[in-house]
């Protein structure tokens, strides 16, 4: 016997060809939430592991450089930080967004590109990953003279604050461009962000340590109990990231891909041409087109051609 299934409210109603009606309880299962607990848990795990590997690799290059007579050098340290960011973005970017940075998470949340309710959990995962990485390095390279792998200002506090603000602004501006704009080439996001970190570490490293990341500074500070200038590395990168994200949003005038913008403009131009041609055809058939209407039509067509 043929049957037809339909849903009415919270009950599934089955109608057959004889007009009989059967109501089936219980109600159908609720649709799956977009942000399920398991998905959030995986994102947090990706953030913790990603931050751990980032801080471990970057800070290890600093420790090895100090313990081995500057064998790594500043360019080498810069390359390590840049490559670490790049490979981790490509590794877990599709899982958690590859923030690894509380300043980036807060900046995305202020622009409504990240759920505000997930910000505390993300920050906790990032700080935990950074602290664990710093602790691992402390165990591996412990000796009579422990090397502080964190960040501390080499000049004045004002100088360090301004530099950290600028380099984090620059970093977040790049991130917003390559990761949130549909017109950008998303496949190059990791390369662009990694290159930006490399560049910033190259020139700002000797002055501030080029943190750009509150978690990067806080983790080693907790392990080494070294908090000199920590307020700079908690506030300046946060303000810089938020400012960079908002400035890019002001520069960007649309979220539509370039292909869609071009297609829309072409369609509008074609529609206007068709409208002018139709109007002219009607006027010719009715014999009512005067000189003024002809001049107007020619003017519109000329404008479209431009």
pLDDT at 65: 92
Alpha-carbon gap, residue 216 to 210, rounded angstroms: 10
pLDDT at 30: 41
Token pair 């806080």 is at which residue?
A: 218
pLDDT at 269: 54
**pLDDT tens per residue across span 37-73:** 788 999 999 999 999 999 999 999 999 999 888 899 9
What sign does the CA torsion over 117, 120, 126, 132 have?
negative
- CA 168 from centroid of its chain's CA atoms: 14
Rounded to two decimals, the pTM is 0.72
pLDDT at 275: 57
pLDDT at 23: 42
pLDDT at 263: 60
pLDDT, average across residues 88-117: 95
- Residue 16 DSSP SS3: strand
pLDDT, average across residues 90-119: 95
**pLDDT tens per residue across span 82-93:** 999 999 999 999
Alpha-carbon gap, residue 60 to 161, rounded angstroms: 25
pLDDT at 226: 92
pLDDT at 268: 53
pLDDT at 145: 63
Look at residue 32 and tell me whether its pLDDT is greater than 70.
no
């Amino acid at each position: 016997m043929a049957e037809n299934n339909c849903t009415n409210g919270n009950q599934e109603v089955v109608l057959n060809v004889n007009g009989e009606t059967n109501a089936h309880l219980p109600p159908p299962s609720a649709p799956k939430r977009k942000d399920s607990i398991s998905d959030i848990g995986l994102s947090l795990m990706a953030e913790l592991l990603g931050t751990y590997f980032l801080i471990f690799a970057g800070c290890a290059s600093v420790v090895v450089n100090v313990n081995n007579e500057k064998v790594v050098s500043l360019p080498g340290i810069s390359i390590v930080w840049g490559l670490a960011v790049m490979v981790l973005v490509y590794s877990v970017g599709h899982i958690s967004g590859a923030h690894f940075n509380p300043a980036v998470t807060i900046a995305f949340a202020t622009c409504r590109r990240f759920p505000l309710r997930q910000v505390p959990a993300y920050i906790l995962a990032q700080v935990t990953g950074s602290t664990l990485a710093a602790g691992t390095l402390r165990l591996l390279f412990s000796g009579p003279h422990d090397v502080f792998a964190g960040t501390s200002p080499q000049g004045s506090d004002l100088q360090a604050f301004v530099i950290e603000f600028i380099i984090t602004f620059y970093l977040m501006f790049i991130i917003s461009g390559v990761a949130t704009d549909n017109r950008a080439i998303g496949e190059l996001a990791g390369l662009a962000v990694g290159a930006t970190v490399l560049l910033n570490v190259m020139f700002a490293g000797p002055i501030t340590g080029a943190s750009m990341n509150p978690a990067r500074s806080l983790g080693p500070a907790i392990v080494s109990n070294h908090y000199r200038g920590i307020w700079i590395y908690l506030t300046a990168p946060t303000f810089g990231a938020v400012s960079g994200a908002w400035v890019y949003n002001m520069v960007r005038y649309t979220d539509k891909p370039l292909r869609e913008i071009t297609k829309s403009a072409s369609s509008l131009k074609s529609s206007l041409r068709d409208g002018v041609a139709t109007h002219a055809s009607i006027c010719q058939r009715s014999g009512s087109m005067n000189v003024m209407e002809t001049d107007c039509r020619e003017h519109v067509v000329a404008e479209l051609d431009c």
